[in-house]
Amino acid sequence: MGIEDDDIAKVRAAADIVQIVNGYTTLKRVGRRWQGLCPFHTEKSASFSVNSEDGLYYCFGCQKSGDVITFVREKEQLDFVGAVEWLANKYSITLRYTERGEDEGRKRRTKLVDAVRKAVEWYHTRLLESADAGEARKYLRARGFDGDAVRRYKMGWAPDDAKQWDPLCRYLKLNDEDLRASGLGAINSRGRQYDFFRGRVLFPIFDDRGDPIGFGGRILPGHDGPKYKNTSDDAAIYSKSKILYGLNWAKEHIVQAGEAIVCEGYTDVIGFATAGVPRAVATCGTALTEDHIRLLKRFSPRIVLAFDADAAGQNAAARVYEWEQKLDVEFSVADLPNGVDPGELALTDPARLAAAITNAKPFLGFRVERVLSSGNLRTPEGRARTAQTAVDVVREHPSDLVRDQYLMTIADRCHLDPDHVRAAARGAARVAPGRVTNQPEPRGAMMPVDHAPRRRPMRENAEDEALRLLVHRRTEIIDRLEPVLFDSDARRDAYEALVSATDLHRAIAEASPDTAALLTRLAVDEPDGDPDQAIVDLSRYATSRVLDQLRREAASVREPEDLRAYSDVIDWLRHRLAELDDAEKRMSAAALLVAWLAENAEGPAGE
């Protein structure tokens, strides 16, 4: 399946790559380019560069590169068509598809999303205006939600009228199949439609793109029925194991702060935002899953758990450690007061809620601290029991290096010999009461590793500069370059791709992956020099190369006449090289050398 080429071109032209990238990292203008920390890898110094004029990006650290469509594909984990659709939706561009079947599937999703969107507005209007929503409005005010919050989060009210089971269904007028697929209603045994939600305050659930896909419903206090009810997974566009409430609002803040907060409830998410910490999301009636973590990893690898992270026990801990290793993420636990939900704390002490995130502890550190804080450390026997419990928690972690650091913490807090604690962790012995040791632990010295980038030869720098000028100031240099000036195969390929294509995007599209990456890097990197200097530098390196070859060939020549021919050419080239250092003669010398190289360098020595 595909999208019409003209529509892809429209999307690429309309999309503001700086605006898109700023949703994942912070860019600052530097000259004609934009720079910032790379959104694809962790770094402390900005190595990510964006060319807004050509709509291209390149990271000088991890070498990720591409255009705005490639960027969205990478960050949103979409295929090409999905990325184009994502951008088209953002910039209100209607797409045409090359295959009718695929077009119909995407149209169906749009139809179901539109149905849910209409339901969001209908329920929201009922909450704001209907007389039967008075109790719901009173409940929300008691929970600290004023009119602004109700409107911002599009909260709604599903009426509970014994005489009318289908007011939403009658408003939407969906056929039975679409009603079921939308998750908004169902069909009873008599073949009549009825609303899925009744007598509940509703919190609309949006996907990370901002499309409404479902609801979370909370029954009012004192009424019968399950406390919470969410859209069923039978709905075609909703899957609770892959959806996080609030991500559509929080994702930009997650990127800016470099961390995501995971809560258990919708009101917790709103509470965090009210307290000035707008980067919280919540699961929707299910435990945290790997799909949730993969979704969050697209925006930040650091995840703070704002719920009782120890309550689920050892199985939950094993999943967290597996995710940390498998998905390269880092879990911490918020320093929340015991027995207080974030939503409640936001009302009573918002500063304390914000501090709970600032003071979050690593996941294992939180669990160890809970054991040590609750244990009896006043007696030798109590310290031994506490240490053993803490050791059992530490043993669950897969990393030897991480385990050993916490074992030393346990030994210090419980006044035990670190070797005894380590032995207990290896399963060699149970922790027994022992004396304090004041001997320092030997520490191995870490050998420094040289991560300095390999310095490129000056010739490659000169070739890159010429190519940068060809990308950015094409008309000033294109007629003065020749393939022979590029010794590097990669750079010669890049030169030929540029001169044979009508524009940069076509050159990148038609080039090999390595050449495309090189061209993208050059496109985001402004040229430092000028065309004259570039031609002088290239002609110098190319001529020196040819001179070395001619001298090697001349050394094996025996005939005086042939030797004289080599000597004449070598002398002529040497004189032209010398003239490159003369301010008045250098450009004419460079022009002569380029012309000679283009005609002679690939063949035998000239006459």
CATH of region 367-425: 1.20.50
* Residue 457 predicted with pLDDT over 60: no
- Name the segment(s) of the chain with CATH classification 3.90.980.10: 105-230
* Residue 442 predicted with pLDDT over 70: no
For 431, half-sphere exposure in the C-beta direction (CA atoms, 13 angstrom radius) is 26
* pLDDT recorded at residue 225: 87
The domain made up of 458-600 has a fold known as DNAb Helicase; Chain A (1.10.860)
Q: What is the pTM of this model?
A: 0.63
pLDDT bracket for residue 40 (50, 70, 90): confident
Ranking 53-57, 98-102, 115-119, 389-393 by mean pLDDT, the lowest is 98-102
Decide: helix, strand or coil at residue 341: coil
Ranking 279-283, 293-297, 310-314, 412-416 by mean pLDDT, the lowest is 310-314
105-230 carries CATH number 3.90.980.10: yes
pLDDT bracket for residue 455 (50, 70, 90): very low
* pLDDT recorded at residue 351: 96
* pLDDT recorded at residue 314: 53
Rounded Cα–Cα distance for residues 201 and 198 (Å): 9
Q: Which tokens go with 357?
A: 């995130």
* Residue 17 predicted with pLDDT over 90: yes
Q: Which tokens go with 40?
A: 């694809």
* Residue 476 predicted with pLDDT over 50: yes
Rounded Cα–Cα distance for residues 284 and 182 (Å): 17
In sequence order, which ranges of 28-79 are alpha helices (DSSP H)?
68-76
- Name the segment(s) of the chain with CATH classification 3.90.580.10: 5-90
Q: Which tokens go with 573?
A: 């080239």
Rounded Cα–Cα distance for residues 196 and 180 (Å): 9
Q: Which tokens go with 576?
A: 């032209």
pLDDT bracket for residue 559 (50, 70, 90): confident
- Name the segment(s) of the chain with CATH classification 1.10.860: 458-600
- Name the segment(s) of the chain with CATH classification 1.20.50: 367-425
**10 Å Cβ neighbour count for 544?**
13
Q: Do 169 and 195 contact (CB within 8 A), yes or no?
A: yes
pLDDT bracket for residue 513 (50, 70, 90): confident
Q: Which tokens go with 14?
A: 């309309």
CATH of region 244-359: 3.40.1360.10
- What's the whole-number average pLDDT of the chain? 86
Q: Are strands 260-263 and 302-305 parallel, antiparallel or unpaired?
A: parallel
Q: Are strands 48-51 and 56-59 parallel, antiparallel or unpaired?
A: antiparallel
Q: Do 150 and 156 contact (CB within 8 A), yes or no?
A: no
Decide: helix, strand or coil at residue 50: strand
SS (H, E, C) 393-428: HHCCCCCHHHHHHHHHHHHHHCCCCHHHHHHHHCCC
Q: Are strands 302-305 and 330-333 parallel, antiparallel or unpaired?
A: parallel
* Residue 444 predicted with pLDDT over 80: no
**pLDDT tens string 229-270:** 999 888 999 999 999 999 999 988 998 888 999 999 999 999
pLDDT bracket for residue 459 (50, 70, 90): low
Rounded Cα–Cα distance for residues 158 and 225 (Å): 14
CATH of region 5-90: 3.90.580.10
